[in-house]
Amino acid sequence: MKQSLMFVPTMRDMPKDAEIVSHKILLKGGYIKQHAAGVYSYLPLAYKIIKKIENIVREELDKIGCSELLMPALQSKDLWVESGRWEAYGKELMRLKDRHDRDFCLGPTHEEVITAIVRDSITSYKKLPVALYQIQTKFRDEFRPRFGLMRGREFIMKDLYTFSTSTEDLDIWYNKVRQAYINIMDRLGLHYRIVNAASGQIGGKSSEEFMVLCDIGEDTIVYSDTGTFASNTELCQLEEGAPSPDGIGIIKHAKGIEAGHIFKLGTKYSEPMNLTFIDEDNKKKPVIMGCYGIGISRLLMAVLEQHNNDLKVLWPDSVAPFKIHIIPMDKVNTAGYEIATTLYSQLISKGYEVLFDDRSESPGVKFNDADLIGCKYQIIVGKKAVEGIVELRNKANNEILEIEIEKIQKYSF
RNA sequence: CGGGAAAUAGCUCAGCUUGGUAGAGCGCUUGGUUUGGGACCAAGAUGUCGCAGGUUCGAAUCCUGUUUUCCCGACCA
């Protein structure tokens, strides 16, 4: 009997619109579907990964004392006028009117809303500091969306805001979040570099970017070979081979994807928006803010860009959509298929995430799709299944092992 | 927003120069043969040729406008 276990609409032909490898894989492998320029549906496979990335982010932020909330994507003009960004943000801000002809925008970021929330509920130093974050769909009407999820007009972002009574406390939070970001990037299996950056629209004094290193990155970074200096070229342009400004090492260049950006905002929003608190000395002071972003959907692409080899994918354990991919060679309603089905149920009941290829496709089709899906373990249920033997492939080390079904039930994946 | 390319079946594309019944491969449906790296045979279904005007007896094809998508640039957490 046909089981509908997963909707993974893979393609045979290469989608014409994709230029970079990770984008090709996402389309060909049935991960995402384009809706408009820079707007995509996350199909089940991609959404499973997105949720895992989100949860890693949640764990690391909750651990340092942040609280998750969810703010509206649809925002009225008023707060944006208060902050001065209704004018300053320009055409990148998605603007619309409601039926009463009132102005709204779709949030590209949430400094205004969060500032208003905190402003109305916190007036005393006794209630600070506060750290609030959300994971939400953001909207930016980019001049030129491109490379699939790399630069979308609608994308998933984690944005965190901290509210402190002093710059010293902001520094403490900044460093805690910085470390949380390091943990997140490490858990995602990424090669990255932290660089000094310009703070652009968001504002504030200093900021650092977490750049995932890869050739298709839109940013160029300069760094010293000793690792003691790194900057985005938008801030600091140095020739390759030049001495590093810190006097240690030689300058090198690399391309990177901006996956995270952390800012010390200071009072950029609290002053115009009148976010103040009463301090111990009974004086009214502006709250000192920080803000910290991670591009969740962009990270999906960044991880993929670093974890594929010639259209063959191997997701890191931390975000893999499934741990085990069972591929029966026999068609539905055969002995081998029934054995595979039973094995699937057993592994599921043991708590493993298992994908079962329930299609009556030829082996080549199944193997090619499996390469795109990128599970670490593949269990091939073939001719020897009736003798109690299946093949276990470990894609991480390319080990192929003929193993008894009884042993696989007890195998520690 | 400047420059370039493109839009025809679910996907990849041909047809357009020189106007005359809408095509191929893959995918899909049915039957059969296959089955360890994108199998084979047979039969079938699938289209507002992006949209709107214009020229013409007749437009996927020529003309005008428009929308959309991709690439390069500028811009940008």
* Nucleic chain B contacts, protein chain A, residues 292-351, CB cut-off 7 A: 293-295, 298, 329-331
Q: What pLDDT shows up at residue A86?
A: 92
Q: Do the beta carbons of residue A157 and residue A136 sit within 8 Å?
A: yes
Nucleotide closest to residue A14 (CA–C1'): B12
Q: How far apart are CA A300 and CA A322, in angstroms?
A: 15
Q: Do the beta carbons of residue A168 and residue A175 sit within 8 Å?
A: no
Q: What pLDDT shows up at residue A240?
A: 86
For chain A, what is the radius of gyration of the CA atoms?
25
- Judged on CB neighbours under 10 Å (0-12, 13-18, 19+), A396 is exposed
* Nucleic chain B contacts, protein chain A, residues 200-229, CB cut-off 7 A: 200-202, 207, 209, 218-219
Q: What pLDDT shows up at residue A204?
A: 66
- Judged on CB neighbours under 10 Å (0-12, 13-18, 19+), A256 is buried
Q: Do the beta carbons of residue A350 and residue A413 sit within 8 Å?
A: no
With a CB cutoff of 8 Å and minimum separation 6, the contacts of A246 are: A224, A228, A229
Residue corresponding to tokens 């984008």: A23
A251-266 and A288-295 strand pairing: antiparallel
Nucleotide closest to residue A295 (CA–C1'): B77
- Is A97 within 7 A of strand B by CB distance? no
Nucleotide closest to residue A148 (CA–C1'): B70
Q: How far apart are CA A86 and CA A78, in angstroms?
A: 9
Residue type, A196: N
Q: What would the two tokens of residue A312 be?
A: 């063959």
Distance in Å, residue A301 CA to nucleotide B38 C1': 25
Q: What pLDDT shows up at residue A125?
A: 97
Q: How far apart are CA A2 and CA A9, in angstroms?
A: 16
State the complex-level ipTM: 0.94
- Is A367 within 7 A of strand B by CB distance? yes
Q: How far apart are CA A251 and CA A243, in angstroms?
A: 6
Q: How far apart are CA A223 and CA A21, in angstroms?
A: 26
Gap between the terminal Cα atoms of chain A: 28
* Nucleic chain B contacts, protein chain A, residues 104-123, CB cut-off 7 A: 108-109
Neighbours of A98 (CB within 10 A): 10
Q: Which positions of chain B lie under 7 Å from any protein Cβ?
A: 1-2, 10-13, 25-27, 34-39, 68-77
Q: What pLDDT shows up at residue A2?
A: 47
Element containing residue A106 per DSSP (H, E)? strand A103-106
Reading chain A (413 residues) residue by residue, the pLDDT tens digits are 445 568 999 999 999 989 899 999 999 999 999 999 999 999 999 999 999 999 999 999 999 999 999 999 999 999 999 999 998 898 899 999 999 999 999 999 999 999 999 999 999 999 999 999 999 999 999 988 999 999 999 999 999 999 999 999 999 999 999 999 999 999 999 999 999 987 766 666 678 999 999 988 888 899 998 888 888 988 887 888 888 888 888 998 889 999 999 999 999 999 999 999 999 999 999 999 999 999 999 999 999 999 999 899 999 999 999 999 999 998 877 888 999 999 999 999 999 999 999 888 999 999 999 999 999 999 999 999 999 999 999 999 999 999 999 999 889 99
Q: How far apart are CA A304 and CA A404, in angstroms?
A: 33
Nucleotide closest to residue A11 (CA–C1'): B11
Name the percent of chain A in helix, strand, coil, to the closest 5: 30, 30, 40
- Is A290 within 7 A of strand B by CB distance? no
Q: How far apart are CA A317 and CA A248, in angstroms?
A: 37
